[in-house]
């Protein structure tokens, strides 16, 4: 037990030193992100149909005897040559996108570029499948995500959203515009509500004889404050604004999914599996891979991702961020395991 404690202390020292070295660098780079707009990005395209076929062929071939395997590989090569010589004409494509959300919906710019590429291309797009994973965040940021996805619907392109883990609050706000929503049995969906919270240290400042002044023009320019004394009028106005935002959220969900009874689902709760299906939050239960494998048998599937080129300092910051995250996770995992050791 003493050894585990010493190991934990050592890891904490390491993370402290690493943080002290890399945190200032990360802060400098993050502060400069808004100052320069880089459009030097590119699209990464992965043929998912071929990937699924190759995986299936590899698994099948591994179970054959040497003679059968030789015949199998010859037939496979012959089939590929025939497909190249006689490609399937007018076969429609399906594009697969990924969205990993955070509080600020930071990937909205990436999503915008991917949608732009689809809309300006002259390929026959049958459907767009978006894999969403987000616990929500800024209502305004996720409202922009929804607006970007709406462009596909406006251009008569079917949009299917697949949820494997979670699409709650803002994550569901952007998902509800889809033509179809598919969610895994344990995926969390819904959370149609609004939350806002902030600390107030006015009493602490007053106790330590620290004065704080704030001047505004307009009665409700600032409703709640961290440092000043909050009033009942300010609290009431702030809550009223939250209620208005919640009403807009409910109306938006109702507009895109008319069959939903918002009085039942718009309580801030999350729903799973059959319950989510019964209240109309989703259209089908299943994983994204299951949905994509089925589509790959009929259509060409391409996963596209917009990647912005990083300069040397950004690459260094990214590597440092990954290192810090992994170190923190290791410490947490070690401390968590030590609870079960006597």
Integer-rounded Cα radius of gyration of the chain:
26
| Per-residue model confidence (pLDDT) at position 221 | 81
**What is the predicted pLDDT for the residue at 184?**
96
Concerning whether 221 is annotated as a catalytic residue, the answer is yes
pLDDT value for 211: 85
* Catalytic hit among 84, 207, 221, 342: 221
The reply to whether 169 belongs to the active site is: yes
Taking only the tens place, the pLDDT of each residue in 279-326 is 999 999 999 999 999 999 889 999 999 998 766 666 666 676 677 767
Q: What is the pLDDT of residue 38?
A: 44
Residues of the chain with pLDDT under 70: 1-15, 18-39, 83-90, 310-318, 320-321, 325, 328-342
3 state SS for the chain? CHHHHHHHHHHHHHHHHHHHHHHHHHHHHHHHHHHCCCCCEEEEEEEHHHHHHHHHHHHHHCCCCHHHHHHHHHHHHHHHHHHHHCCCCCCCEEEEEEEECCCCCCCHHHHHHHHHHHHHCCCCEEEEEEEEEECCCCHHHHHHHHHHHHHHHHCCCEEEEEEEEEEECHHHHHHCCCCEEEECCCCEEECCCCCCCCCCCHHHHHHCCCCCCCCCCCCCCCCCCCCCCCCHHHHHHHHHHHHHHHHHHHHHHHHHCCCCCHHHHCCCCEECHHHHHHCCCCCEECCHHHHHHHHHCCCEEEEEEEEECCCHHHHHHHHHHHHHHHHHHHHHHHHHHHCCCC
Long-range contacts of 256-264 (CB under 8 A, 24+ apart): 256/176, 256/177, 257/176, 257/281, 262/192
Which sign does the torsion angle of CA 123, 128, 129, 130 carry? positive
Cα 111 to Cα 47: distance, rounded to the nearest angstrom: 19
Into which CATH architecture does domain 42-58+91-191+269-308 fall? Alpha-Beta Complex (3.90)
What residues does each domain of the chain span? 1-32+310-342, 42-58+91-191+269-308, 192-263
- pTM of model > 0.85: no
pLDDT for 33 equals 47
* Active-site residue, from 49, 131, 134, 169: 169
What CA dihedral angle connects 26, 111, 163 and 151, to 10 degrees?
A: 150
Which tokens is 161 given? 């959203």
User: Which residue, 212, 133, 132, 217, is CA-closest to 178?
Assistant: 132
Residue 136 near residue 104 (C-beta atoms within 8 A):
no
Identify which of 57, 122, 131 has the alpha carbon closest to the alpha carbon of residue 93. 122
How high is the pLDDT of residue 128?
Answer: 96
């Amino acid at each position: 037990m003493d050894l585990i404690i010493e190991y934990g202390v050592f890891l904490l020292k390491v993370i402290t030193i690493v943080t002290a070295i890399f945190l200032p660098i990360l802060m400098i780079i993050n502060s400069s992100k808004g100052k320069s707009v880089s459009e030097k990005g590119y699209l990464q395209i992965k043929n998912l149909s071929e990937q699924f076929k190759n995986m299936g062929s590899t698994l099948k071939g591994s179970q054959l005897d040497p003679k059968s395997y030789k015949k199998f590989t010859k037939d496979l090569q012959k089939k590929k040559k025939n497909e190249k010589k006689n490609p399937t004409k007018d076969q429609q494509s399906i594009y697969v996108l990924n969205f990993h959300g955070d509080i600020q919906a930071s990937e909205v710019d990436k999503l915008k570029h991917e949608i732009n590429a689809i809309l300006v291309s002259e390929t026959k797009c049958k459907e767009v499948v978006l894999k969403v994973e987000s616990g929500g965040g800024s209502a305004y940021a996720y409202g922009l995500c929804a607006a970007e996805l709406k462009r596909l619907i406006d251009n008569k392109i079917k949009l299917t959203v697949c949820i494997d883990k979670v699409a709650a609050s803002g994550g569901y706000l952007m998902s509800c515009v889809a033509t179809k929503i598919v969610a895994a049995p344990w995926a969390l969906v819904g959370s149609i509500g609004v939350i806002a919270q902030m600390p107030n240290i006015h009493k602490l400042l007053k106790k330590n004889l620290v004065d704080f002044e704030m001047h505004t023009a307009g009665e409700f320019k600032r409703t709640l404050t961290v440092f000043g004394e909050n009033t009942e009028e300010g609290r009431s106005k702030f809550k009223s604004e939250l209620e208005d935002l919640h009403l807009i959220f409910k109306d938006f969900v109702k507009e895109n999914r008319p069959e939903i009874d918002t009085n039942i689902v718009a309580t801030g709760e999350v729903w799973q599996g059959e319950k989510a299906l019964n209240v109309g939050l989703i259209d089908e239960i299943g994983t994204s891979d299951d949905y994509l494998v089925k589509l790959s048998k009929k259509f060409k599937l391409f996963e596209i991702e917009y990647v912005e080129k990083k300069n040397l300092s950004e690459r260094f910051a990214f590597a440092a961020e990954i290192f810090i995250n992994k170190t923190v996770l290791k410490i947490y995992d070690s401390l968590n395991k030590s609870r079960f050791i006597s």
